[in-house]
Amino acid sequence: MDLQLKDKVIIVTGGAKGIGEGICRVLAAEGAIPVIAGRSEADNLATVRKIESEGGKAAQVVAELTRPQAPEAAVQKVLSLFGRIDGLVNNAGANDGIGLENGSYEGFMASLHKNLVHYYLMAHYALPALKESRGSILNIGSKTAETGQGGTSAYAAANGGRNALTREWAVELLRYGIRVNAIIVAECWTPLYERWLSSLPDPDKQLREINDRIPLGNRMTTSEEIARMAAFLLSEKSSHTTGQLIHVDGGYVHLDRALIRQS
C-alpha cells in the first residue's frame, strides 16, 4: 500500500533509538523525511546514516526536550531546514520509576517535564506549520495509564495526560483538518527494555513470564509493528481517524485474563 508519505516532513522526538528509531525507519521506507529531535547528536546522526544507507532520507536536530525552551528551537530549526512540517510524533520519554513512596516533588515534576510537558510544547510550536499542511499529530503512550504498574506514579500520570491531550487536541483541531491519535504500547522489545531485563537476577525467566502474559503469540510487540501503525495513522490512508487510542499490544491490555498462559 502506498501511504502517500513521499517527501512529507515528520518530526519524531526521541527518534534515534527504540520505538522512535523504528518509526523513523518505516517512515523513510515510505518516502517520508523523518526529522529526529533528540538530545544526543551522535545517536541522532547514527540513525540518520542508517536510514540513508537503506536508501531513505532523514535529518536531525539536537534538542534536550526536558528544557522548556528546546521544543520551540527544535521546531524553528526544522522549519529553517525544510520550510514545512507535515507531521509530529511525540515519542520521547522513559519510565523513570518515580513512585508515591520513593518520590519527591522535585522528582515528580522533573518526570512530567521528561514525559509530558514537551508533548504539549512540541505540538504548540509546530501547530502553525501543521495548520498550513493539514498535518497529523501522533502521541506514543503507555499502558501504565490504564493498568497501573506500581512504583511509577509520575510516568503513569504523564501517560494519562498524553491520552487526555490526544482527545482534547483532536477536538480543538477539527476545524483545521488536523488529526490527532495515539498508539498505546504495552510490552515492546527495545534496547532500553533489554537493558532493564539484563539488570535482573534471572532475565530469561522474567522474559518468559512477560511473554506468557501476552495473548497473541506469547511474544512482545516489535518496534517495527508500532512503526507500521504509526506510518498508517500519519498518512491520508487513515483520513477519517482522529481522537483514537490504538493499542498495538497483542491483546495485552484488553483481552480476557483467562487467555494468559500459565507456566
Question: Active-site residues: which are they?
Answer: 155
Query: Are the C-beta atoms of 179 and 244 separated by less than 8 Å?
Result: no
Strand 59-62 and strand 87-90: the pairing is: unpaired
Query: Are the C-beta atoms of 70 and 120 separated by less than 8 Å?
Result: no
| Residue in 14, 20, 110, 19 with CA at minimum distance from that of residue 62 | 14
Q: Which secondary structure element, helix H or strand E, spans residue 245, and what is its range?
A: strand 245-247
Residue 3 burial by CB count (10 A; 0-12/13-18/19+): exposed, middle or buried? Answer: buried
135 vs 130: CA distance, rounded Å = 5
